[in-house]
Structure 1
Amino acid sequence: MDEEERVMLEGDVPKESSFEGRLQLKNFMFMGASQDASSTSPRRSQRLSTPQLAASSQRSGSTTSGSPSKSKKRKAQPESLKEDIDASSKKPRSRKGTPSAPSPSPSKKRARPSSSYAPPSTYAHLPTLPDAIAPNLLILTIGLNPGLQTARTGHAYAHPSNLYWKLLYSSGITPIPCKATEDQTMPARFAVGHTNIVARPSRNGAELSKGEMDEGVAVLEEKCRTWRPEVACIVGKSIWESVFRVRHGRALAKGEFQYGWQEERMGVVEEGTRGEDGEEQEPWEGSRVFVATSTSGLAATVRPEEKERIWKILGDWCVKRRKEREDVVKGEPAEEA
């Protein structure tokens, strides 16, 4: 019998193994500060030892251990900090009891003059266009103002894209095709003249102001009183809008305008009216008003076929009226216009 068997039979307890190379886990256990250093029991998590009720209340938004909720944190922010936050979001807020001035919305812009407007000095180097006007006209066409090419050449409606001369012929106002270089011969040849509501040249109508267009209305009225054409043909709706605005003190209402003959007349001379020379003028019923479409190549709101249809109404009247005049010259009785 060896020594180990003898010890077991005799009931002796064997000594604890003391192998130094084995990892001793108890030496690496964390010992809590409240625990005795000699204690070998491991430290339990405080969260696991918290009652279940406290955990549920923590999930529902109530505070534990005195820590404030998120909503309370927001309320606890200093007033100055809240103003900074509001300022960064472009929504200024004032302190309690102090009214804050409304800040302008970033989407709204200050009222400024049209960026297209060009003052008269822009094209002051260009000459103005002379009127082609004379007594006893059948039609006096009234345009907006001379374009740049018209001002440079000195002839009305000189730009190649302008339909003025084409529409005069296709409507029957002129019996033969004419060119811009013939503009000054039109009153004597066909009893057709031209003028403008604004004398100064510009690149387009957007470079003019409503104010200077309105100022030109009185000049047109005086030209009609002086030369007394049978018809004042307004070449473009915008010109008639100025005439209407000056006469009635308001803009045209929706549905109030249509191309063609108008009920109002221009250059009316009432009985007892005296001219600039002080002499009493002969009463006159005024020129009939026909509003035609613009002939500019930039005016594309009306289709070409519609432009021709509208101008043809005036052309048919002109053909008939011209024949009546010729009949009067020949001694034949004239029909009513």
Structure 2
Amino acid sequence: MPVLPDVLAPGLKVVFVGTAASRRAAEVGAPYAGPGNRFWDILYAAGFTPRRLKATEFQTVTQYGLGLTGMAPNAVGNDDVLRPEDFDAAGLRAKIEQFQPRVVAFAGKRAAQEFLGHRIPAYGLQPESVGPTRIWVLPSTSGAARAFWDEAPWRALAAFVADD
């Protein structure tokens, strides 16, 4: 059973795909809820949302053309504790095919690598797609990934989907 619920609907601009719920997110029942996580801050700063949402407001993201899901929906923990069998690439592909968002954006390279089956050389738009859905890879917002933080790919994605 998934640790956190998906927030999906047809016709979304971007579905953000995390890796697995953090311990804090699992405790409170809301994605990206850790105190050091930058997800909700960057959504607002990059212009995806008109104000900074609280993690507990996660189910409202569809109002802004956004969705949320995870690559390891039944797991809890950082990337370094996840096993290959924790990832559900086939399940994510089925969700993408069903809902067909404009972009699926992986919030971290590990989730994207597990989905695509190869190393991700750079953040941003990837050459692969799932039907009409483009694939974008973003730096993780986790506090554990601060050394890799760069908001430029997040802002570039916001500009990409704003062209609708």
TM-score by length of 2: 0.93
Equivalence map 1:260-275=2 (5 Å): 260-266=124-130, 268=131
Q: 1:201 to 1:149 in 2, by over 3 A?
A: farther
| Counterpart selection for 1:309 from 146, 152, 160 | 152
Q: 1:210 to 1:301 in 2, by over 3 A?
A: farther
Q: Quick check: 2:71–2:92 contact (8 Å CA) kept in 1?
A: yes
Partners of 1:257 and 1:179 lie apart in 2 by 32
Q: Quick check: 1:139–1:191 contact (8 Å CA) kept in 2?
A: yes
Partners of 2:85 and 2:12 lie apart in 1 by 29
1:237 matched residue in structure 2: 109
1:29 matched residue in structure 2: none
Residue 300 of structure 1 and its aligned partner are, at CA, apart by 2.9
| Counterpart selection for 2:163 from 313, 320, 330 | 320
1:293 matched residue in structure 2: 139
CA displacement 1:88-120 (0-9 Å, x = unmatched): xxxxxxxxxxxxxxxxxxxxxxxxxxxxxxxxx
Q: Which secondary structure state, in structure 1, belongs to the residue aligned with residue 146 of structure 2? A: coil
Q: Which secondary structure state, in structure 2, belongs to the residue aligned with residue 161 of structure 1? A: coil
Equivalence map 1:254-265=2 (5 Å): 257-265=121-129
Kindly indicate whether residue 79 of structure 2 is the aligned counterpart of residue 205 of structure 1. Answer: yes
Greater RCO (CA < 8 Å, at least 6 residues apart): 2
Q: Which secondary structure state, in structure 1, belongs to the residue aligned with residue 51 of structure 2? A: coil
CA displacement 1:241-265 (0-9 Å, x = unmatched): 11222xxxxx43xxx6111001110
Q: Quick check: 2:33–2:55 contact (8 Å CA) kept in 1?
A: yes
Q: Which amino acid aligns with 1:145?
A: A
CA displacement 1:128-177 (0-9 Å, x = unmatched): 11011111101000000111111111111111110000111111111221
Partners of 1:237 and 1:142 lie apart in 2 by 11
1:226 matched residue in structure 2: 98
Residue 315 of structure 1 and its aligned partner are, at CA, apart by 1.2
Q: Quick check: 1:172–1:319 contact (8 Å CA) kept in 2?
A: no
Q: Quick check: 2:3–2:76 contact (8 Å CA) kept in 1?
A: no
Over the matched positions of the two proteins, sequence identity in percent amounts to 31
RMSD, matched Cα: 1.7
Q: Which secondary structure state, in structure 2, belongs to the residue aligned with residue 159 of structure 1? A: coil
Residue 294 of structure 1 and its aligned partner are, at CA, apart by 0.6
| Counterpart selection for 1:145 from 20, 44, 47 | 20
Q: Quick check: 1:148–1:201 contact (8 Å CA) kept in 2?
A: no
List 4+ stretches of structure 1 deviating above 6 A.
none
Q: Quick check: 2:79–2:110 contact (8 Å CA) kept in 1?
A: no
Q: Which amino acid aligns with 2:72?
A: V
CA displacement 1:227-285 (0-9 Å, x = unmatched): 1111000111111111222xxxxx43xxx61110011102x2xxxxxxxxxxxxxxxxx
Residue 200 of structure 1 and its aligned partner are, at CA, apart by 2.1
- The count of corresponding residues between Structure 1 and Structure 2 is 164
Partners of 1:221 and 1:301 lie apart in 2 by 30
Q: Quick check: 2:12–2:66 contact (8 Å CA) kept in 1?
A: yes
Residue 301 of structure 1 and its aligned partner are, at CA, apart by 3.3
CA displacement 1:186-227 (0-9 Å, x = unmatched): 11x1010100001124232212102332xx111110000111
Q: Which has the larger radius of gyration?
A: 1
Partners of 1:207 and 1:200 lie apart in 2 by 13
